Amino acid sequence: MPHEAQIARRRSFAIISHPDAGKTTLTEKLLLYGGAVALAGSVTARKNQRATTSDWMELEKQRGISVSSTVLQFEYKDSVVNLLDTPGHKDFSEDTYRVLTAVDAAIMVVDAGKGIEAQTRKLFEVCRRRGVPIFTFMNKLDRPAREPLTLLDELETVLGIGACAINWPLGLGQQFRGVYDRRKKDVHLFERTVHGAYRAPEKVGGLDDDFVAQHTVPEALEQAKMELEMLDGAGHAYDRTKIDRGELTPVFFGSASNNFGVQMLLDGFLELAPPPEARMAADGRVIEPTAEGFSGFVFKIQANMDPRHRDRMSFVRIVSGKFERDMQVTHTRTGKLVRLANSQKLFAQDRETVNEAYAGDVVGIVGNHGFGIGDTLATDPKLKFDEIPRFAPEVFAYLHNPSTAHYKRFRDGLEQLLSEGVVQQFIQPHAGQRVPLLGAVGPLQFEVVQFRLESEYNAQSRLENAPYTVLRWVRTKDGGAIEDFDIPSGVATAQDSEERWVVFFSDQWAINYFERRNPNAELSEIPWDE
Ligand code: G4P
């Protein structure tokens, strides 16, 4: 198959949602309909039972949360689908943000009974800032749900995005019987199956068919017809350009656990979502996916996924060119040449060697190459992508090593976890600091650090909360020395891993006070060069 065709048939996306909206269920059903699994239940089984390959996933099991992200690839009809899984818990939103840099589109799952929830809103903002096209799945229509028109309205008023319904529900809650496909103008009626484990049987007909009237609740059908008329008259028209720009979200209604509307979502999404697009390099060059030279960036690193091997996997999103196993590329941050010998793709916990891959795909490179999150691998040694944003942590703690005899284990483990970006470390050079000061977006990240230090490096640790809640990067307006600042008590300065100065505060009041005392200081929520 020609290179262009390989790229054109790829769809790389993530599913975003507030916890419990149905992301795991939908993932599983997309795999079911995509033909990647024969019987739904495997993903949830993973979620619930976690026949885990690595000890620290015990933590996920204990907490019932998903910490690690995996990438699922499958072929469906003519498409190659890359589904990048993201952790749902808000404490791991940094991890989720990084994954979102690697996708070309997102499916936002909304619990139709609850509407737009906080975490959905946050993740939506990240997608919007990046201009990622967003598709909406209104889930759980089989349960008491908000009126579909209200839900569309909420997308507009709460998220500020135009909504264009691709299908429309016939009834809600107990009366939910199926959906009307507005583009094809046909009705898909569903029957419930036991636990929704197999594909839901469908019957297709027109909105005015007797068959449809027989199988729907008359008032619900009437109401749907009325709403559809209103939509035709006053709703947002389907507009591909606006979808591509992330200004309009195509909306699909359904019920993931009952398989209602999942096939339509999959087909509609694959048809409407964009293939891999060009990305801008740090120097302003536009790198087309069809460009000959290979390029990609690391968006996730994870060690010890399989404790028997103690390996380290760097997940690389391919931006251009063709990946071939054993190829040589430059790790452009260090200028070193590396051979990408051990390349793998994952399917849930299984791995498979990748011999070739294209723009849009994700390959896992196994080995200790010294890659860091955000690093570029390319045949062009000058190429650098600047895709991964850094987030200001919001919780801070000192991590003590209670056993001097095991200092090396403690240090090695921490270094590894820092390189994975699980937490950030700050150094207070002037304070002669020996205990690492760590910053995280949420406290569960600290728990992961402690858990993994112990289970993977056999290193104990003790956490001491630091009395700060806000971090700002700082510089002087006149280029003077940071050391000359007047530091009030309760405020501390330190440097991040790239020796950029930061200041820690206990609250907003402390920031204002610091700014008044130091008119020469300029503060920022993100590092200056990002
Ligand atoms: P998440 O990954 O977004 O956190 O959500 P998840 O898929 O785990 O779904 C959360 C709960 O919502 C699950 O119930 C799931 O079965 C249920 N759910 C998902 N889609 C639908 C739907 O379309 N209709 C209804 N009625 N429920 C849905 P649970 O009780 O937590 O788990 P389980 O007992 O079903 O395994």
The pLDDT tens digits of the residues spanning 210-232 come to 888 988 999 999 999 999 999 99
Pocket test of ligand 1: the residue of 23, 25, 96 to mutate, having most ligand atoms within 8 Å of its CB, is 25
- In which residue are the tokens 């790790």 written? 331
Question: Which pair of structure tokens corresponds to residue 413?
Answer: 């483990």
**Which parts of 84-162 fold into alpha helices (H)?**
93-100, 118-130, 148-154
Number of C-beta neighbours around residue 95 at 10 A = 24
- Which residue, among 480, 468, 387, has the nearest Cα to 426 in the 3D structure? 468
**Confidence label for 369 from pLDDT (cuts 50, 70 and 90):** confident
Q: What is the pLDDT of residue 465?
A: 94
DSSP letters, 442-508, are SHHHHHHHHHHHHHHH----EEEE-S--EEEEEEETTS--GGGS---TT-EEEE-TT--EEEEESSH
CA-nearest residue, atom 17 of ligand 1? 22
Pocket test of ligand 1: the residue of 63, 257, 262 to mutate, having most ligand atoms within 8 Å of its CB, is 257
CA distances from 525 to 364, 454, 511 (A): 31, 33, 12
- Per-range mean pLDDT, top range of 62-76, 188-202, 214-228, 358-372: 214-228
Q: What is the pLDDT of residue 434?
A: 73
Cα(37)–Cα(304) distance, rounded to whole angstroms? 26
Residues having CB closer than 6 A to ligand 1 are 17, 19-25, 44, 88, 139-140, 142-143, 255-258
| Consecutive H or E run containing 45 | helix 42-48
490 labeled part of a ligand binding site: no
Cα(12)–Cα(83) distance, rounded to whole angstroms? 6
Pocket test of ligand 1: the residue of 20, 110, 195 to mutate, having most ligand atoms within 8 Å of its CB, is 20
252 within 8 A of 166, measured Cβ to Cβ: yes
Atom of ligand 1 at shortest range from CA of 18: 3
Which pairing describes strands 356-358 and 350-353: parallel, antiparallel, or unpaired?
unpaired
20 labeled part of a ligand binding site: yes
468 within 8 A of 398, measured Cβ to Cβ: no
Question: 379 alpha carbon to ligand 1 midpoint, in Å?
Answer: 45
521 labeled part of a ligand binding site: no
Q: What is the pLDDT of residue 502?
A: 94
Instruction: Look up residue 195 and give its DSSP letter.
Output: G
Q: Judge whether residue 137 has pLDDT over 90.
A: yes
307 labeled part of a ligand binding site: no
Provide the residue type at 196 as one letter.
Answer: G
Q: What is the pLDDT of residue 378?
A: 97
Question: Which pair of structure tokens corresponds to residue 408?
Answer: 């090396």
SS3 113: coil
Question: 23 alpha carbon to ligand 1 midpoint, in Å?
Answer: 8
How much is the CA Rg of the chain, to the nearest whole Å?
25
Atom of ligand 1 at shortest range from CA of 254: 23
342 labeled part of a ligand binding site: no
Question: 196 alpha carbon to ligand 1 midpoint, in Å?
Answer: 12
**Confidence label for 54 from pLDDT (cuts 50, 70 and 90):** very low
pTM: 0.84
Q: What is the mean pLDDT of the chain?
A: 86
Q: What is the pLDDT of residue 53?
A: 31
Q: List Cβ neighbours of 58 (8 Å cut-off, separation of 6 or more).
A: 50, 52, 451, 455
Q: Judge whether residue 59 has pLDDT over 70.
A: no
Which pairing describes strands 437-440 and 79-84: parallel, antiparallel, or unpaired?
unpaired
Atom of ligand 1 at shortest range from CA of 260: 23
13 within 8 A of 82, measured Cβ to Cβ: yes
Angle (CA) 44-47-51 rounded to 5° is 105
Model confidence pLDDT, tens digit, residues 384-428 = 998 787 778 899 999 999 988 888 999 999 998 998 888 999 988
Cα(72)–Cα(11) distance, rounded to whole angstroms? 12
Atom of ligand 1 at shortest range from CA of 25: 7
Instruction: Look up residue 427 and give its DSSP letter.
Output: B
DSSP letters, 283-301, are TS-EE-TT-SS-EEEEEEE
Helix 118-130 to helix 93-100 angle (10° resolution) is 30
